Amino acid sequence: MPARSLTPTAVTDWLARYKDAWERRDPDRAAALFTENAAYHELPFAEPKPGRAGIRAYWASVTEDQRDVAFESRVVAVEGRTAVARWSASFSSASSGPRVELDGVFILVFERDDLCSELREWWHVRTSP
């Protein structure tokens, strides 16, 4: 049976769950968005975080110091099982205090069950006191 087409609505729903996971700083919710063997590329030249366990560990580490997280996104394009989304996020650093703003792009590849099997992101950061 061929995989059903990925829709912008399905990607928007996935991004809403990603938002929920990040704003709650919940690594279990974040990891549940991905396949068991997913690859999470936080930076273009960095090795990917491997699998759901690697993604969970990464999220537990990076969100530990974040407070008052706000995330927004919108789907830019969907082709086959691949989507492109624009996103922005902001949060406060609990240890150092400044507000951090991120602006980025995701390329997402989904499996039949609408779990993400590959995430590639590019982002820029700005901090303010």
In terms of residue numbers, what domain contains 72? 8-128
Total number of domains in the chain: 1
| Residue 99 belongs to a domain | yes
- pTM for the whole structure: 0.93
In a domain, 97, yes or no: yes
| Domain-located, residue 91 | yes
According to the model, what pLDDT value does residue 1 have?
41
- Give tens-digit pLDDT for 84-108: 999 999 999 888 888 999 999 999 9
Is residue 3, in this structure, part of any structural domain at all?
no
* CATH code (residue 65): 3.10.450.50
Question: Per the domain annotation, does 79 fall within a domain?
Answer: yes
pLDDT in tens, 9-59: 999 999 999 999 999 999 999 999 999 999 999 998 899 999 999 999 999
- Domain membership of residue 59 (yes or no) is yes
Query: Which is more confidently placed, 128 or 116?
Result: 116
Residue the block writes with tokens 């996971």: 21
Residue 76 pLDDT greater than 70, yes or no: yes
